[in-house]
Amino acid sequence: MNRTFQALWIDKPAVGSDTRHSDTSPLLPLKLRSLTVDELPEGEVLVEVHYSCVNYKDALAAMPDGQVVRQYPIIPGIDLSGVVISSSDPRYVPGDSVLATGYELGVAHYGGLSEYARVKGDWLVPLPQGLSLREAMIYGTAGFTAALSLHRLEENGAEPKRGPVLVTGATGGVGSVAVALLAAKGYSVTASTGKAEERDYLRQLGAQDVISREQVYPDPIKPLAKTRWQAAVDPVGGKALSAILSQLQPNGSVAVSGLTGGSEWQATVLPFILRGINLLGIDSVYCPSSTRKQIWQRLAADLKPSSLEAIVDREISLEEVPAALERILRGGMRGRVIVRLK
């Protein structure tokens, strides 16, 4: 079989040339390209992609200095869900519904913003019962990261009765899903956002309180401040993380996944040695397969919120992806943007 299909294509212009997607765009040139299945990279499983989505990392992949893509040209897209067309991996047969997030997808291996993808069998997760291909991409890497954060917080003692949980970057992908998952599990959630106009959205997802970014980090940030949170899900980093560390209750934990507020932060050892707090790093990309499958099972069952559909900001086509990536870079995301390919 060597069918022709459409994919989003990013090629990096030669060094010294300053080509952009458009005159006003911060992105590298992105275009729709026809490819044949023979042009896809090696892998055991050929998947017809039904849905993908856009994440912050996809925007970085399309930036001249994004530093996530190992080699251009690339088909971006760190996530996909679809149906197996052919497989030399005995674990998968044609017709199986599968999903994939992370690993090298869309950064070192052609990714999910494509009508077909060929991937390693080890990267795939069988679609859990209770989840549709579309719902899998409402979650995508962002939702998986939110769930992994909650899972790690629970492993470290978080439980609803211990007090409020802070979610930073709450209107973004990781943040929105974290608010919804925590609220559905009975936690009292405080959502921090830079978008005052999205209070109602965050309350609809289940946030009990909505506060501004500045309300998280008073100036100056003290090494030990009044305790406010039993735990926090932090995809923002930077100043927010500095403040959270000083505000966690004794034995509380923060799950750190991102850097939209900056990659550097300041801290002293005091909250660690006087309050026994835990700093939990979250890596969704190379999360081990057994944990990965367990988290996806939970997303299809006990963690699945009734507000999942409310997280969808819009469903778009491949042609509309560049505009969505520009919006991410402006910090303008609200919830999740999913890409329909079939």
Ligand X SMILES: NC(=O)c1ccc[n+]([C@@H]2O[C@H](COP(=O)([O-])OP(=O)(O)OC[C@H]3O[C@@H](n4cnc5c(N)ncnc54)[C@H](OP(=O)(O)O)[C@@H]3O)[C@@H](O)[C@H]2O)c1
Residue 35 or 231 with smaller CB distance to ligand X? 231
Cβ 212 to ligand X shortest distance, Å:
9
Q: Which stretch binds ligand X (CB under 6 A): 3-11, 29-37, 219-227, 258-266?
A: 258-266
Q: Rule CB under 6 A: say whether 259 interacts with ligand X.
A: yes
Tokens, residue 274: 């006087």
Would you call 246 exposed, middle or buried from its count of C-beta atoms within 10 A (0-12, 13-18, 19+)?
buried
Q: Rule CB under 6 A: say whether 114 interacts with ligand X.
A: no
Tokens, residue 93: 């047969």
Of 151, 213, 292, 304, the one binding ligand X (CB under 6 A) is 213
- Identity (one letter) of the amino acid at 209? D
Cβ 166 to ligand X shortest distance, Å:
12
* Omega of the bond leading into 220 within 30 degrees of 0 (cis): yes
DSSP 112: S
Of 55, 114, 190, 278, the one binding ligand X (CB under 6 A) is 55
Under 8 Å between Cβ of 97 and 127 = yes
Tokens, residue 52: 């993908």
Q: Which stretch binds ligand X (CB under 6 A): 15-23, 51-59, 118-126, 264-272?
A: 51-59
Residue 13 or 218 with smaller CB distance to ligand X? 218
Under 8 Å between Cβ of 157 and 251 = yes
Q: Which of residues 308-337 bind ligand X (CB under 6 A)?
A: 328, 331, 333
Of 81, 193, 253, 278, the one binding ligand X (CB under 6 A) is 193
Residue 145 or 253 with smaller CB distance to ligand X? 145
Closest CA to 173 of 54, 340, 50, 26: 54
Residue nearest to ligand X (CB): 172
From residue 63 to residue 102, the character string flagging contacts with ligand X as x (rule: CB under 6 A) and all else as - is ----------------------------------------
* For the chain, the helix, strand and coil percentages under 3-state DSSP, each to the nearest 5: 30, 25, 45
Q: Rule CB under 6 A: say whether 292 interacts with ligand X.
A: no
Of 154, 155, 283, 319, the one binding ligand X (CB under 6 A) is 283
Residue 101 or 246 with smaller CB distance to ligand X? 101
C-alpha distances out from residue 139 to 74, 85, 90, 172, Å: 23, 23, 27, 12
Would you call 197 exposed, middle or buried from its count of C-beta atoms within 10 A (0-12, 13-18, 19+)?
exposed
Cβ 84 to ligand X shortest distance, Å:
25
* Omega of the bond leading into 164 within 30 degrees of 0 (cis): no
Q: Rule CB under 6 A: say whether 112 interacts with ligand X.
A: no
Contacts of 29 (CB under 8 A, 6+ apart): 10, 11, 13, 19, 20, 21
Residue 63 or 83 with smaller CB distance to ligand X? 63
Q: Which residues bind ligand X (CB under 6 A)?
A: 55-57, 141-142, 145, 169-175, 193-195, 213, 235-236, 257-261, 282-285, 328, 331, 333
